[in-house]
Amino acid sequence: MKQQGKDIGLCLCKMCRQLNSTELTHCQRCQAELHIRDYSSLQKSWALLITAAILLVPANIYPITILTNQGQVRHDTIFSGILHLVNSDMLPIAMIVFTASILVPWIKIIGLSIYLCAISFDIPISKKKLMVGFHAIEWIGRWSMLDLFVISITVALVNMGQLLDAKPAPAATAFALVILLTQLAAKVLDTRLLWDRLEPQDDTN
Amino acid sequence: MHENAAENSITLCRSCDLAIRKRALPSGVRALCPRCSTALYDTPYCSVNGMLALCITALVFYFPANFLPVLEIHFLGSIRTTTVFQGAFAVFDQGYWLVGLAVLTAAVVGPGLLLLSILAQILIVKWGLNSVFWRKSLKQLLKFHGALSQLSMLEIYVISFLVSSFQLSDFSDIYFGMGTFCFTMLFLVTLFLQREYHLEHMWTLLEGHC
């Protein structure tokens, strides 16, 4: 009973979600190119994801801010910044920052690689769970930007020389790239591939 | 080509390509894909005048939100303020242009373009501008709408005011400025505007007014 669009000769435009016949090469409503399945998207997504995973290392080991407080210079990595928040009794804020800048990037990279593995290597994981996870990743991914916003506000506000001064440090660029690349990796992927590949093995999931 | 009636009643899930028969929905209800629970469609209701009102309100708040001080620091007698716009440029000036660009796009340029795009779309629809030029522009605006709405991250910026004010309160006194209020209002109005706005409905309007 369950029919896919490509079996009945229909294809959804990725741009405007107009229903098109598979005979057409371009959408009849918005003239965007139509793909019944975009197989190259899998490779693109892998490439972006692996690059992001590599950049996650410098993002975490290099300092992300340099804070000068009355002559004392402190180099803070993402993690040591959070530890400092915990030590100064700001647990709720520490939890927000921890979620946004450590948990979310890791969940995104691990989750996406599980998802891509399931497509690439035909691993029989419940497709429904994978898809729910994918939507969650798409939604939560943007929240990593929180750390960059906080840095930009702090840097603009706190510039009083030796007394109190905040500056961004190299990890900020790496972290920005991690966010950008993981978001792109999720965006570029044609999720319909998952539902094609696993179909013969487990029909119920 | 398929029959027109069949095309109207069948839709495909954009995530898993399942063919689904469309049913009429009561208002405020969303149809989910039975196989992968992706949101499929909801009742296409949007009031053009309501959206126009929200859009103009948001644009009124836009400039004070970005160019009035959002945070104020009182430190040993000196007072420093910053705006959202300066925040992006401060990191840019330190040589971290990618970070600056990301902040500028997500907090200033993205929301601005989104609001302008919605305003232009509403005006084209409302005034019934039917010439080829306007129809083409509307089509382009609709095509870029998805990307623009993903680029604007007002909600995250609002949270980041709170986080940075708490972080800095460790060192000195922090006060919110007029910009904070305007930015929060900009966020709320844009939120309601985006709840009201339905891309799918705008596409049918484009088809409708040829």
Note down pLDDT in tens along chain B; length 210 residues: 344 545 567 888 888 888 888 887 777 778 888 888 888 887 666 688 889 999 999 999 999 999 999 988 888 788 888 899 888 888 988 889 999 999 999 999 999 999 999 999 999 988 888 888 988 898 889 989 988 998 999 999 999 988 898 888 877 888 888 999 999 999 999 999 998 888 888 888 887 654
- pLDDT tens per residue across span B47-59: 888 899 999 999 9
Contact between B125 and B203 (Cβ < 8 Å): no
Interface of B with A in 103-122 (CB under 8 A): 103, 106-107
- pLDDT tens per residue across span A138-148: 888 889 999 99
Q: Tell me the ipTM for this assembly.
A: 0.85
Subunit contact B17:A4, Cβ cutoff 8 A: yes
The 8-class DSSP code of residue A34 comes to: P
Do residue A9 and residue A49 come from a single domain?
no
Residues 6 or more apart in contact with residue B33 via CB below 8 angstroms: B13, B15, B16, B18, B20, B39, B40
| pLDDT for res B46 | 67
Q: Where do the structural domains in chain B lie, given as residue ranges?
A: 4-42, 48-208
CA distance B123 to chain A (A): 20
Strands A65-69 and A19-21: unpaired
Any bridge partners for residue B129, and if so which? none
Asked if the C-beta of B9 comes within 8 angstroms of chain A's C-beta atoms, the answer is no
- pLDDT tens per residue across span A158-179: 888 778 888 899 999 999 999 9
Partner-chain residue, chosen from A90, A160, A179, that has the shortest CB–CB distance to B166: A90
CA distance A159 to chain B (A): 9
For residue A175, is it within any domain?
Answer: yes
- pLDDT tens per residue across span A39-64: 899 999 999 999 999 999 999 999 99
Q: What's the average model confidence in pLDDT over A10-18?
A: 82
Do residue A144 and residue A125 come from a single domain?
yes
For residue A63, is it within any domain?
Answer: yes
B88 vs A59: CA distance, rounded Å: 20
Do residue A115 and residue A160 come from a single domain?
yes
A158 vs B76: CA distance, rounded Å: 13
| pLDDT for res A112 | 93
**Dihedral angle, C-alpha B155, B158, B162, B167, nearest 10 °:** 90
Q: Is A86 exposed, middle or buried (0-12, 13-18, 19+ CB in 10 A)?
A: middle
The CATH number of the domain holding residue A127 is 1.20.140
Partner-chain residue, chosen from B19, B100, B172, that has the shortest CB–CB distance to A3: B19
Share of chain A above pLDDT 70, in %: 95
Contact between A174 and B105 (Cβ < 8 Å): no
Any bridge partners for residue A19, and if so which? A12
- pLDDT tens per residue across span B108-117: 999 999 999 9
The SS3 of residue B19 is strand
| pLDDT for res A164 | 83
| Partners of residue B15 in chain A, C-beta under 8 Å | 131, 134, 191-192, 195
Q: A51-60 burial string, b = 16+ CB within 10 Å, else e?
A: bbbebbeebb
Residues in chain A, total: 205
| Partners of residue B171 in chain A, C-beta under 8 Å | 69, 158, 164
Q: How many CB pairs under 8 A join A and B?
A: 191
Supply the range of the domain harboring residue A19.
1-36
Residues 6 or more apart in contact with residue A60 via CB below 8 angstroms: A77, A78, A79, A102, A171
Asked if the C-beta of B175 comes within 8 angstroms of chain A's C-beta atoms, the answer is no
Do residue A57 and residue A153 come from a single domain?
yes
Q: What is the 3-state secondary structure (H, E, C) of A41-99?
A: HHHHHHHHHHHHHHHHHHHHHCCCEEEEECCEEEEECHHHHHHHHHHCCCHHHHHHHHH
Subunit contact A5:B86, Cβ cutoff 8 A: no
| pLDDT for res B110 | 94
For residue A204, is it within any domain?
Answer: no
A113 vs A115: CA distance, rounded Å: 5
Do residue A17 and residue A57 come from a single domain?
no
Any bridge partners for residue A4, and if so which? B18
Q: What's the average model confidence in pLDDT over A135-140?
A: 89
Identify the CA nearest to A159 among candidates B82, B69, B159, B157.
Answer: B82
For residue A18, is it within any domain?
Answer: yes
Continuous segment of H or E residues that includes residue B207 = helix B199-208
**Cα-only R_g, chain A:** 22
B66 vs A152: CA distance, rounded Å: 14
Do residue A26 and residue A48 come from a single domain?
no
| pLDDT for res B44 | 62
Count the domains in chain A.
Answer: 2
Contact between A3 and B18 (Cβ < 8 Å): yes
Subunit contact A17:B203, Cβ cutoff 8 A: yes
